[in-house]
Amino acid sequence: MSALDASHIEISSDRPAPALSLEWWRGAVIYQIYPRSFLDSSGNGVGDLQGILDGLDYVASLGVDGIWLSPFFTSPMRDFGYDVANYIDVDPVFGSLSDFDAIIEKAHSLGLKVIIDQVYSHTSDLHAWFEKSRQDKSNSHADWYVWADPKADGSPPNNWLSVFGGSAWEWDSRRQQYYFHNFLPSQPDLNLHNKDVADALLDVARFWLDRSVDGFRLDAINFAMHDPKLRDNPPAPADGRSFNKPFDYQLHIYNQSHQNIPEFLERIRLLTNQYDDIFMVAEVGGPEPLDEMKAFTANGNRLHSAYDFSFLYAGQLTSELTKNVVRAWGRTPNEGWPSWAFSNHDAPRAISRWAEEKDAPRAAKLHAMLLLSLRGNAFLYQGEELGLPQANIPFDNLQDPEAINNWPLTLGRDGARTPLPWKAEALNAGFSTGKTWLPIDPRHTKLAIDEQENRSDSSLNFIRSMIELRKITPALRHGDLSFIEGTEDLLAFYRNSETEEALCVFNLGPKAITWRPSNVKQFRQIINVGFSENGSDIPKVLAPLSGYIATRQR
């Protein structure tokens, strides 16, 4: 084994037990499950809830604190579940409510919390609410969605654009009006300025809370309210930012991000406070999301946490990026707790964005070590623990509307949504006995779970050890973070708790770096990537794409 391929783990059994946190979610590691692609129990090529139930023992073996389930609700699947046709039922392709209840029961028996998606900004156009709303202008649901008359020339009410391309307005001949959709035309936006709509969504949340879920991830929550005056968005400044699609050419200050969104979040928090230990995290998109994330998590009476796409869409992982993103949190007493994700179902996998293929095995470990060292919650996307690269999907096999609309300029989302490989030698890598809804990349088969289980140097087993280390190291799970100044590719920081201090050092670049902290003798190395030596001494030379964590008692 070469020095660059090695990873060393030394977790002492005599380490003091960490103090229990009153909040299970603070510093938690949460494993994202994309139901369509996790495990298929029926042989129809699509993952389902029974598959999730069957795979929970594997997830628990990772040592994570909980799971986040992407949508499994009734849906025509034009946006694969994010177009909800019934918020309080399971789509037949996934199973039934009894299957979901079984997941809750088993997950809790394994010590796993269960978080589910809630999509409050829009529904499917097949939702009963929208079918009622579009009938005429005077029915009981007429104002549940965003409707507007055309301009005098028949054109849309304003210049708002859809994320997926074209106008954000769709003509409806029955009402003789346009309806607003931030995403697909089949995803009409709800009118959350209408209290009846907000009340109905709170009833949805209550339904799932009564089924013992442990929290919610609020999808695209900054899209949940619009400007009632329907003012035109201004153009985006020509300041060097990248314009990949028409949506990028505007500053989206009127079609989203309304100032009343925090009031709605406060209502959700009041509801969840009636239940025990509920966790809520927001997904916040956009080029400058920080102010919204802070607003959505402020004052202890809104959401607990938020994450954005700073890492998810980053073309490179750099020391500067990490410092800029992480330093934005932990400065004020009334702000929320950050969450971090390097990969998910909406972004190309990090390993393909940040590393060359030849470096992928080592980079997968290094990225995981960094993600699990940062102050905040860590979201681990299914397959990330295996080091799966972005799958290559031929155009004829694409399913994602965004990927189809923007092909070949973007990698799209399908390449991050392909089935999870369970068994290297089995049909369809053990995911299904039938034709899979997306093809399985042959590179993924070689990285299957069973192939990695028995290799001590595998990405899977390294990440298990890193999650265990985070659990038993209070400084890594809950501690403060302070950066150490370094070179361009050197990223180094301390994590501090009342009882110990952790030194986390990473060489993110392609060249070796000679560097050690001045107080090096006080620290004992406990885990590393890229070094072959088995001692606890702090290395002087950091090989390319290498790093270590060392600790000392205070």
Sheet holding 500-507, edge to edge: 7-9, 524-529, 546-553, 500-507, 490-496, 480-484
Active-site annotation holds for 214 = no
Measuring CA to CA, which residue among 95, 21, 26, 10 is closest to residue 66? 26
CB 159 within 8 A of CB 232: yes
* Residue count of the chain: 554
Contacts made by residues 13-20, CB under 8 angstroms, sequence distance 24+: 15/472, 15/473, 16/499, 17/472, 18/471, 18/472, 18/473, 18/474, 18/477, 19/474
Which is catalytic among the residues 283, 346, 451, 500? 283
Per DSSP, what are the bridge partners of residue 177?
Answer: 172
509 residue type, one letter:
G
Active-site annotation holds for 453 = no
CB 189 within 8 A of CB 182: yes
Cα separation of 399 and 69, whole Å?
20
CA angle (526, 528, 533) in 5-degree steps: 90
DSSP state of 145: B
Task: Report CA-CA distances (Å) from 103 to 49, 51, 209.
Answer: 8, 10, 14
Q: Please compute, for residue 95, the number of CA atoms within 13 A of its CA located in the half-sphere on the CB side.
A: 23
**SS3 letters across 247-305:** HHHECCCCCCCCCCHHHHHHHHHHHHCCCCCCEEEEECCCCCCHHHHHHHCHHHCCCCE
Measuring CA to CA, which residue among 12, 1, 4, 7 is closest to residue 534? 7
3-state secondary structure of 22: coil
Q: Which two tokens stand for residue 253?
A: 């200050």
Please report where in the chains the tokens 């029926």 appear, as a residue.
Answer: 42
Which is catalytic among the residues 40, 117, 125, 219? 219
CB 397 within 8 A of CB 438: yes
DSSP state of 18: P
Task: Report CA-CA distances (Å) from 542 to 174, 280, 480, 483, 502.
Answer: 67, 39, 25, 18, 18
Active site residues: 219, 283
